[in-house]
Amino acid sequence: MEFLANPSVIGFLVFVVLLLLNMPIFAALGLAALFTIVFFKAAPLAVVPYILGGSLDKFPLLATPLFIIAGAMITRSGMSQRIVNLAQVVLGTLPGGLALATLATGAIISSMSGSNIATVAALSFLIPAMAGAGYPKPFAVAIVAAGCTFGVVIPPSIGMIIYGVIVEQSIPKLFFAGIGPGLMMFTVLGLYTFLISRHRGYRGAKVERTWATFAAALKDASWGLMAPVIILGGIYAGIFTATEAAAVAVVYIFIIDLFVYRKIGFANYPTMLYDAGKTIGVIVLIIACSSVFAWIWQTQGLAAVITTSLMDWSAGNSVLILLIINVLLIISGAFLEPIAAMYLLVPLVKPALLAAGIDLIHFGALMTVNLSMAHLTPPVGVGLFLAAKVGGVPFETAAKWALPFVACEVLVILATTFFPPLSLFLASMV
């Protein structure tokens, strides 16, 4: 009863009610936080502007809008089409070849944009292409949505950057920690896609596979393939920070499109930047409002209660703590946007992680893998919702076809949980 009487818990229940009333996440967070502060006198209202400003006054966060802009430029430049063509030459004749090419392209595109939603937008043209090749349209939608989940894990990752800001950990280390789980996720999803395609007779694409066609496709896609090499190579070599890498990505794509692809055109930049700005604005509001809520939870002692409860339930066993937190993340991811979930949950569980001796870099990889699945899981599933909307498939139908991909990602979550070297081996080299 004492737990339920905590002002921050009551504020969270108000937040849930507002979500059920279909209010935008940032508005629900802000109004619930305001209710808690005013009704329970949790803090003077004068501190709220300082919390809002302080949550955004962090240099690494500047990478978030820059990577979103880079993702918008990738979508409009036709870069994704060229990478798909190369992937089709390599994988196209296999059972489910076009679906496998979609996953491979998702992995590459996400390593340039760092964003799930940008990856879905870049891959959306493949839904009618797969449907025309004989794939059920709901399966095509699920494939595109699954391809977008790499954006939270494979570096550079907006989720990793935000997590690093929250826990004050090395972002390059977190990027390295995402490589192992990201590659495993691609392998597991790709293996399932190959097996189910062979079982159901989803044929490969009719693609001429010769050294000449491969060389031509590789040359056509080479400028796009160089982007992740420059971005990640510069970060890992210490030439620039993750934030500076985001700026480099924007400049690189701008130059390639200006002199090579010539697809965007100066006249289209205002509209493109306006659309990207709307996405950036929503993310900024979510970060700011989540920070106020997280601050309330901290000052009202909820983090201490959570820590005590986790330690009692698990008897201090780190594996049990991670399993409990995984369940909490899966439930939260079904209802919350991943960035909001990070800002709300990380401050609550961080004391328990430190008390149990759990490496925060390992947990960062685990959390991003877990929350990447949030783009597939109903009732929210932003990535799946966007892909279903583009494909003209009812969300409920798309959700049913996405369930096997969710099961595949659960396997990756468990592997990341029980086998820390999967994420820590490369991170330990930084």
Cα separation, 350 vs 254, whole angstroms = 40
Phi/psi at 78 (5° precision): 80, 10
Task: List, for residues 89-117, the tens digit of each pLDDT value.
Answer: 887 778 888 888 888 888 888 777 666 77
pLDDT of residue 5: 66
Q: Is residue 51 scored above 50 in pLDDT?
A: yes
Cα separation, 111 vs 74, whole angstroms = 11
Greater model confidence, 258 or 309: 258
pLDDT of residue 185: 92
The SS3 of residue 328 is: helix
The listed range with the strongest mean pLDDT (26-35, 120-129, 410-419) is: 410-419
Structural contact between residues 76 and 268, judged by C-beta atoms closer than 8 angstroms: yes
Sign of the Cα pseudo-torsion (219, 241, 160, 60, in order): negative
Confidence of residue 177 (pLDDT cuts 50, 70, 90): very high
Cα separation, 215 vs 193, whole angstroms = 26
Least Cα distance to 430 among 154, 61, 177 occurs for: 177
Q: Averaged over 29-34, what is the pLDDT?
A: 86
Task: Give the list of residues 6+ apart from residue 244 with CB closer than 8 angstroms, or none.
Answer: 234
Confidence of residue 180 (pLDDT cuts 50, 70, 90): very high
Task: List, for residues 288-334, the tens digit of each pLDDT value.
Answer: 888 888 888 778 777 777 888 888 887 778 888 899 899 888 888 87
Greater model confidence, 408 or 49: 408
Cα separation, 63 vs 149, whole angstroms = 19
pLDDT of residue 319: 85
* Alpha-carbon dihedral 291, 294, 295, 301, rounded to 10 degrees: 180
Q: Averaged over 247-275, what is the pLDDT?
A: 89
DSSP assignment string, 60-82: GGGHHHHHHHHHHHHHHHTHHHH
Task: List, for residues 414-424, the tens digit of each pLDDT value.
Answer: 999 989 999 99
DSSP assignment string, 157-195: -HHHHHHHHHHT--HHHHHHHHHHHHHHHHHHHHHHHHH
Provide the percentage of residues in the chain whose pLDDT is more than 70: 97
pLDDT of residue 114: 63
Cα separation, 346 vs 386, whole angstroms = 27
Least Cα distance to 143 among 117, 104, 180, 201 occurs for: 104
Token pair in block for residue 397: 């139908």
List b or e across 268-303, with b for residues whose CB sees 16 or more CB atoms inside 10 angstroms. eeeebeebbeebbeebbbbbbbbbbbbbbbbebebb
Task: Give the list of residues 6+ apart from residue 420 with CB closer than 8 angstroms, or none.
Answer: 359, 362
Cα separation, 380 vs 382, whole angstroms = 6
Task: Give the list of residues 6+ apart from residue 368 with CB closer than 8 angstroms, or none.
Answer: 152, 153, 157, 159, 160, 163, 178, 181
pLDDT of residue 286: 83
Confidence of residue 191 (pLDDT cuts 50, 70, 90): very high
Confidence of residue 3 (pLDDT cuts 50, 70, 90): low
Q: Where are the domains of the chain?
A: 1-42, 43-427
Cα separation, 200 vs 368, whole angstroms = 32
How many Cβ atoms sit within 10 Å of the Cβ of residue 20?
Answer: 10
Mean pLDDT, all residues of the chain = 84
Q: Is residue 360 scored above 90 in pLDDT?
A: yes
Task: List, for residues 381-406, the tens digit of each pLDDT value.
Answer: 778 887 888 788 888 898 899 999 99
- In terms of Cβ atoms closer than 10 Å to its own Cβ (0-12, 13-18, 19+), residue 375 is buried
Token pair in block for residue 173: 């280390």
The SS3 of residue 304 is: helix
Length of the chain (residues): 430
Confidence of residue 254 (pLDDT cuts 50, 70, 90): very high
Q: Is residue 285 scored above 90 in pLDDT?
A: no
Cα separation, 425 vs 41, whole angstroms = 47
